[in-house]
Amino acid sequence: MLHRKSVVLAYIAVFSSLSIILAIVRAEVPFPPLPYLKFDFAEVPVMMVFMLGGPVPALIAEAIHWIGLVSRSGWLGPTMKFLAVTPMIGGFWIGIKTRMRLLGRCKGISLKETLLSGIIVGIILRVIVCTFTNIALFLFIAPRYLQFAEITLRAVGVNITSTLDVWIWTLILTGIFNAIHVPLSSIISLFILRAALKKIPAIARDIWLLQL
């Protein structure tokens, strides 16, 4: 048990530090319709912690990531990121546990199908939470972002005739962005994990996801 806790703490320390480094060097790709949204590869180390250590260590790693970003760039952007990643982690956990409960007595449970359940619920929760956080952002926290969104939408050729159009298009495109980001972060993490297992198969006994 002590060995397991030490391993998990190591995962948190290493991967939360890596997520902060990736954020600092801006390892990200803009989402073309709304370029201020970025596919952020700093999420990948957090998902690695989820697969290696479970949901609680992943949430701790994301909290450390958030603290690191707040200390260098203010609270708004990092908090919006935190409120996107945490429901994704929670959704993954709910999806995996639900599938295991429904099919736990079956012998043919597929890891890929279990992960797919996590991705689907992770998408749903992340999109719902981010929709509400964006509404709060545009209404109460920083209304100027809605004007910026309008300029951006017009620049990429979206026909805007009213403020309502800006709201609708922004929320739809933000939802699409978040729906893409969940499998992107998850699949990259899974490929890295599989590559690590091929090189060091002995680590399998310490991987949370494989112990399920």
pTM: 0.92
On the question of pLDDT at 96 being above 80, the answer is yes
Q: Residue 60: which pLDDT band, with cuts at 50, 70 and 90? A: very high
For 133-178, the pLDDT digits (tens) are: 999 999 999 888 888 999 999 998 988 999 999 999 999 999 999 9
Q: Which domains does the chain have, with CATH numbers?
A: 2-27+41-211 (1.10.1760.20)
The answer, yes or no, to whether residue 105 has pLDDT greater than 60, is no
- Position 168 scores a pLDDT of 95
- In whole numbers, what is the pLDDT of the chain averaged over residues? 91
**DSSP label at residue 30:** E
Note whether 169 and 158 are within 8 A (CB): yes
In angstroms, the Cα distances linking 104 to 97, 100, 108, 118, 212 are 9, 5, 9, 15, 10
pLDDT (average), residues 38-51: 96
Task: Provide the percentage of residues in the chain whose pLDDT is more than 70.
Answer: 95
Identify the residue with better confidence: 200 or 137. 137
Q: Are 167 and 12 in contact (CB under 8 A)?
A: no
Summarised one tens digit per residue, pLDDT across range 109-125 is 677 788 899 999 999 99
**Pairing mode, strands 28-31 and 34-40:** antiparallel
Q: How far apart are CA 204 and CA 202, in angstroms?
A: 5
